[in-house]
Structure 1
Amino acid sequence: MQRLDVPPLWLLACVLGAWVQARFWSFGLGFGGAWADFVSGLLIAGGVLLAALAVNEMRRQRTTVLPHKTPSHLVQSGIFSRSRNPIYLGDVLILAGFILRFDAVLCLPLIPVFTWILEKRFILPEEDRMRRTFRADWGRYEQKTRRWV
């Protein structure tokens, strides 16, 4: 069951929910033309870039990117020097971008809900495993690098 409990599936579910809401229950609400398309493109591209940079750094360090596994190394370099969770941050940006792209105004609350899901289901358990595995190194990293941004 853990194989199905992964952030990309949660992201996909939220994006599909936003699409369905925009397609069938828009109620005439929208963000408005070109600026929303531009910003949505920036958010989606930024989210994909963040995730790609993070995955690349984790692969460079030869550690797992799977959320339910304990990494073999504490990655603190690259994008991880700015955020402890750049992949999750990228996922949130991607969701926000698609909500804008689809004009899914009523799905704006999905952004904090999705963020909460990521934090409760993935980030907090991962941080607990990292704290137990890397002890003092994790403590120093946690002090100098913020969870999100």
Structure 2
Amino acid sequence: MVPMMRKWLDIPSVWLLGALCLAYWQARAMPAGLSFGPVWADLLGGLLVGGGLLVALLALAELRRNRTSFMPHDEAARLVTGGIFRLSRNPIYLGDVLILAGLILFWDAVLSLVLVPIFVWVVEKRFIEKEEYRLKRKFLASYGRYSQQTRRWI
């Protein structure tokens, strides 16, 4: 039971939720008198959150259309290279980063900006590198060509 529970808890959404909780707490409990400024941060934050949601939803739709899993620990049934995956090898993670950055701006959580590169590093080490290894092993030359043509993030 514990390994299965760990598998479901060790997903990027949980890490994103943790970073969002930290940013929200920092904005409310420890603002340190810092601010991004007036309306522009709210507008940019909203655009980033909306863009992040759109990118992630497009990626999920493409994975579903190709009948392969979106869970990071699962074996991929197919190498998905179409749709939003032409622009990024990791559009769901890119969407997560955009959402995090956008809500940090929207909440005026200036000190929490450090969470963005930390989140990117965690996602790369815990998920992306392992996923890419499995894809290289399963799809060989196809994945090699894809990874040369398409950047990891954008």
- Specify the TM-score bucket, using the shorter chain as the normaliser: over 0.9
Q: Give me the identity figure in percent.
A: 56
1:38 to partner: Cα distance: 0.3
1:3 to partner: Cα distance: 1.0
CA RMSD of aligned residues (A): 0.5
Quote the Cα distance in structure 2 between the aligned partners of 1:2 and 1:30. 38
Deviations 1:27-83 (A, max 9, x none): 111101110000000000000000000000000000000000111000000000110
Equivalent in the alignment of 1:9: 14
Q: How do 1:20-99 and structure 2 match up within 5 A?
A: 20-99=25-104
Which blocks of at least 5 consecutive residues in structure 2 are unaligned? 1-5
Aligned residue for 1:108, secondary structure, equals helix
How many residue pairs get aligned? The number is: 149
Give the counterpart letter for 2:36 in structure 1. F
Equivalent in the alignment of 1:131: 136
Which blocks of at least 5 consecutive residues in structure 1 are unaligned? none
